[in-house]
Amino acid sequence: MTRHAQSERLRLCDELDRLGPDEPTLCEGWRTRDLAAHLVIRERRPDLVVGGFIPFLAGRVGRQQSAIAHGDFAALVDTFRRGAPGWSPMSRPKIDELANLVEFFVHHEDVRRAQPGWQPRELPAAVQGKLWSSLRRSARLMFRKSATGIVLIGEGQGRYAAKLPDHHGTVVLRGTPAELVLYAYGRRSVARVELVGDADDIAALQEAKLGLS
């Protein structure tokens, strides 16, 4: 099988190596070192991942993540490049593809689009198709806090009704699957997406909190 998540992992690692540890990202408060630490913890430190959801452990988790982030940056990126350890389900190619393609794509763009002069990448049609499939699976969760109805139109993919309207009308979001994914995951300021609808409905969508939180 083609491993798009693996390819995106390697491209993200190359970008982190090129930029170094102290460049900005789109993740508020995170430099590139913090993002690299997050990626390694997600795959290799389930204790810290779980601890992040337990309020009284938040301080300990934060300190350990900071210590990892401020270690040897080249070694940190190399650890992420090697992939999930054998005991992790994400080491299996099919699970890796399902669990990580969007994660790695979004974080790659978090790094790229925080730098001056960025431009959208030309992604292969197969990758756009996979991103569209992932977005369809998660769209109702990602847009659940919007008071407007949401219809997604992915270039070359079709349309998907992600949410019925609550207190407003419907907004149509049009763009490549990659740009729609970024919008859905809260990267609205850099996502090149066309919004079509009543001005008040568009304003309500732009004020809504999107993503997993």
Per-residue model confidence as pLDDT tens digits over 110-157 = 999 999 999 999 999 999 999 999 999 999 999 999 999 999 999 999
- pLDDT bucket at 51, cuts 50 / 70 / 90: low
125-207 domain in CATH 1.25.40? Answer: no
User: What average pLDDT does range 57-69 have in this prediction?
Assistant: 83
The pLDDT value given to residue 2: 74
Residue 167, pLDDT score? 80
Q: What is the mean pLDDT of residues 168-183?
A: 97
What is the domain partition of the chain in residue ranges? 4-112, 125-207
Q: Is the pLDDT of residue 61 over 80?
A: no
Statement: the pTM of the whole predicted model exceeds 0.75: yes
User: Cα(177)–Cα(51) distance, rounded to whole angstroms?
Assistant: 33
Output DSSP code: residue 91.
G
* pLDDT the model gives residue 57: 65
**Residue 3, number of CB atoms within 10 A of its CB:** 15
The pLDDT value recorded for residue 1 is: 59
DSSP code, position 21: T
What does the alpha-carbon distance between residue 114 and residue 105 come to, in Å, rounded to a whole number? 14
Q: Region 162-177: what's the mean pLDDT?
A: 93
Kindly indicate the confidence band of residue 48, based on its pLDDT and cuts at 50, 70 and 90.
Answer: confident
159: pLDDT strictly greater than 90: yes
- The pLDDT of residue 55 is above 80: no
Give pLDDT, residue 52: 65
Residues 6+ apart with CB under 8 A from 54: none
Mean pLDDT for 17-30 is: 97
60 falls in which pLDDT band (50, 70, 90)?
confident
| Range 80-85 average pLDDT | 95
**Contact predicate 190/109, CB 8 Å:** yes
Please report the pLDDT score of residue 150 as a whole number.
97
C-beta of residue 27 within 8 angstroms of C-beta of residue 35: yes
And the tokens for 87?
Answer: 């005991």
Q: Among the listed ranges 41-45, 47-51, 125-129, which one has the minimum average pLDDT value?
A: 47-51
